[in-house]
Structure 1
Amino acid sequence: MSQDVKPRLPEFMGIGPPRTGTTWLHNVLEGHVDLPYGVKETLYFTTFYDRGFDWYARHFRYATGARKVAEVCPYFFDTVTLDRIKAIMPTCKFIVTLRDPVDRLYSMYKALRYSAEARRGGFEHTLSVWPSMAKGNRYASHLQGWWDHFGRENVLVTMYDEMRSEPQRYIDRVTEFAGIDRIDLAARPQIGDDVNAFKRAPKNRRLARKAWKFKYWLKGRQAYGAVNLLERTGVWDFCAGRGELYPPLTLEEDTRLRARYLPEVEALEELLRIDLTAWKTPRAGRSRQPSAESGSRRLALG
């Protein structure tokens, strides 16, 4: 990139956490803001940071200034990104969407199986060998870190349940916070399509792992056209799916996890001054028992 041209960078970012509807948010914003060209999330501040600033700035090379620039990338739990983002985008705003920690954790488990990072085995076995999964549900302490770096007024905290049950209200809050025109979801019914809700484990873990590594090799070279073509033709799903269906969490697993995360949930309640009783109650004890991966309006669970 020419030294004489000042690159346009995100003015606001949806930072997740992972498995909280980031793909849906990206799809809704598309056409209303300038997003990274050819890809949903650059992963620059984590996976590809060694590629350098110009590598990142190139993603926004077609931004003209007529619209705000944005990115949706699940950086929420990656504390290394705080200083890195602050250094080049000190006035950036952030959207955080929080999800029932048990539901999010099980969705993460399925994503790890899909990418073949986690080997065959049940949920609790994977949790024991991937402790980072569990640490990721420390919402309160991570949220405080973003507040400390960028100011509480620059971090919008939303809830995944609202995204599912009242998507228009949810996106109205996002657009008002970001300072962009209102987006009418009724005019875009295709946005409701359910994507990234992994239902089956890989049939062949070795094939799935090779496909995942190849995908990231392509992404590192910004070969997003090839990545998207392979997505549309079903290659990634062929490599990473077709195996057994994931069973739901048992009541016993659900109850143990809710007891485990109770202190974290209570810390978040105190921080935000809200009632999160629903996150403390085992599924069988609730009057409504929606599936973690479905709803009356089907949403992307990226």
Structure 2
Amino acid sequence: MTLQYSDIDFLIIGAGKSATTWLQMQLQADPAVYMVDPELHYFSREYERGDDWYLSQFSEQGIGKLVGEKSNSYLDRPEAAARIHAALPHVKLIAQLRNPADRAYSHYCMQFGRGEVGPDIENYLDPAKCADDRLLSIGNYAAHLRRFVELFGREKLLVLLYENVAVDPEAQMARARAHLGLPARPLAASGAKKVKDKTARHVPANIGQRLSWMKPMVRPLRGTPPFEAVRNSIAREIQYPSLGDKLRQKLNDHYAPSIEELQELSGESLDHWYDRMSETA
């Protein structure tokens, strides 16, 4: 039995690099919740695949449960909000947001580790220099969220802050669960890790690219002792380019108007983001 659009109850719409995977893992640990995995990006990147493809990604395991999915690209792709509303006007939305300067730098580091960007960090994060502002535009949260609010109404959208995952994860999940109409539940131990460790060892990008053809074959072995032994033998700690005080200040100035607007839209105090900004002012 294939689930229908009316069976899908909620979407986590982003933002990337803001511990949304932690949020998803906590919800997936609840037997009353079914979330498809991995991210589908249907309403943003894969829309041409059509409704049948999208719905086929949800198995009958979701019948009788609260059903949702997470795709971080839904937040900042301009066309996604209208597409979601056309198919899922009833759906509840969760956005978990991070200080935009920190988020942009974290995103840069992820791409640097993959070999997708170079070490000349200002070419990617300096608002006056970067040719492709994709890394920066994601952090204009107010503009992105306004599209959803205009279509769904403010009550359908829950705005959470990344920093609260570390400060009080129990309270963070309590808010998410209340928004979804779920009863209180202790944190799941399996999802206790809150954020990915940037200092973790990674397979160098040049080696990973040469071995990419093997990924489908070795995927079932991930986590097994033989796989981890081989991976650890070639993994290295990556030396990421530093953000630096001057570049951070440029990002702070770039995002300040958006943060002010976000405070009004979300009703969330973002004073700690301003404090973070002033540290390097």
Q: Same fold (TM over 0.5)?
A: yes
Q: Is the 8 A contact 2:113 2:202 kept in 1?
A: yes
Residue identity matched to 2:103: R
Judging changes above 3 Å, is the alpha-carbon distance between structure 1 residues 245 and 10 closer, same or farther for their aligned structure 2 residues? farther
Q: Give the structure 2 partner of residue 289 of structure 1.
A: none
Judging changes above 3 Å, is the alpha-carbon distance between structure 1 residues 161 and 183 closer, same or farther for their aligned structure 2 residues? same
Q: Structure 2 residue aligned with 1:156, among 148, 155, 158?
A: 158
Q: Secondary structure at the match of 1:54?
A: helix
Q: Deviations over 1:18-54 (max 9, x none)?
A: 1111110111011321111xx2312222232222222
Q: Deviations over 1:123-165 (max 9, x none)?
A: 2222324311111111111111110111111001111111221
1:213 Cα shift? Answer: 9.2
Structure 1 unaligned segments of length 5 or more: list them.
Answer: 219-224, 287-302
Q: Distance in 2 between matches of 1:275 and 1:193?
A: 25
Percent identity among equivalent residues?
26
Residue identity matched to 2:180: A
RMSD: 3.3
Instruction: Give the 5 Å matches for 1:26-45.
Output: 26-32=24-30, 33-36=33-36, 39-45=37-43
Q: Distance in 2 between matches of 1:209 and 1:140?
A: 37
Judging changes above 3 Å, is the alpha-carbon distance between structure 1 residues 275 and 30 closer, same or farther for their aligned structure 2 residues? closer
Q: Deviations over 1:164-213 (max 9, x none)?
A: 2111001001001101232201xx33322256434379765444456679
Instruction: Give the 5 Å matches for 1:1-302.
Output: 6=4, 9-32=7-30, 33-36=33-36, 39-74=37-72, 75-118=74-117, 120-127=118-125, 128-185=130-187, 188-193=188-193, 196-199=196-199, 204-209=204-209, 227=219, 229-230=221-222, 233=227, 242=236, 244-282=238-276, 285=279
Judging changes above 3 Å, is the alpha-carbon distance between structure 1 residues 8 and 147 closer, same or farther for their aligned structure 2 residues? closer
1:96 Cα shift? Answer: 0.8
Q: Secondary structure at the match of 2:89?
A: coil
TM-score by length of 1: 0.77
Judging changes above 3 Å, is the alpha-carbon distance between structure 1 residues 76 and 230 closer, same or farther for their aligned structure 2 residues? same
Q: Secondary structure at the match of 1:23?
A: helix
Q: Distance in 2 between matches of 1:8 and 1:61?
A: 14
Q: Is the 8 A contact 2:202 2:235 kept in 1?
A: yes
Q: Secondary structure at the match of 1:71?
A: strand
Q: Distance in 2 between matches of 1:213 and 1:106?
A: 29
Q: Distance in 1 between matches of 2:135 and 2:196?
A: 18
Q: Secondary structure at the match of 1:96?
A: strand
Judging changes above 3 Å, is the alpha-carbon distance between structure 1 residues 50 and 115 closer, same or farther for their aligned structure 2 residues? farther
Judging changes above 3 Å, is the alpha-carbon distance between structure 1 residues 242 and 94 closer, same or farther for their aligned structure 2 residues? same
Q: Secondary structure at the match of 1:70?
A: strand
Q: Secondary structure at the match of 1:91?
A: coil
Structure 2 unaligned segments of length 5 or more: list them.
Answer: none
- How many residues align structurally? 271
Q: Secondary structure at the match of 2:272?
A: helix
Q: Distance in 1 between matches of 2:12 and 2:248?
A: 28
Residue identity matched to 2:265: L
Judging changes above 3 Å, is the alpha-carbon distance between structure 1 residues 212 and 96 closer, same or farther for their aligned structure 2 residues? farther
Q: Secondary structure at the match of 1:69?
A: strand
Residue identity matched to 1:168: E
Q: Distance in 2 between matches of 1:35 and 1:250?
A: 39
1:103 Cα shift? Answer: 0.8
Q: Distance in 2 between matches of 1:275 and 1:70?
A: 28
Residue identity matched to 1:88: A
Residue identity matched to 1:266: E
Q: Distance in 2 between matches of 1:192 and 1:83?
A: 34
Q: Secondary structure at the match of 1:77?
A: coil
Q: Distance in 2 between matches of 1:226 and 1:11?
A: 34
> Higher mean Cα deviation, 188-197 or 260-269?
188-197
Q: Post-superposition, which runs of at least 4 consecutive aligned residues in structure 1 deviate over 6 A?
A: 200-203, 210-215
TM-score by length of 2: 0.82
Q: Deviations over 1:73-115 (max 9, x none)?
A: 2121112111221222111010011211111111110122234
Judging changes above 3 Å, is the alpha-carbon distance between structure 1 residues 163 and 212 closer, same or farther for their aligned structure 2 residues? farther
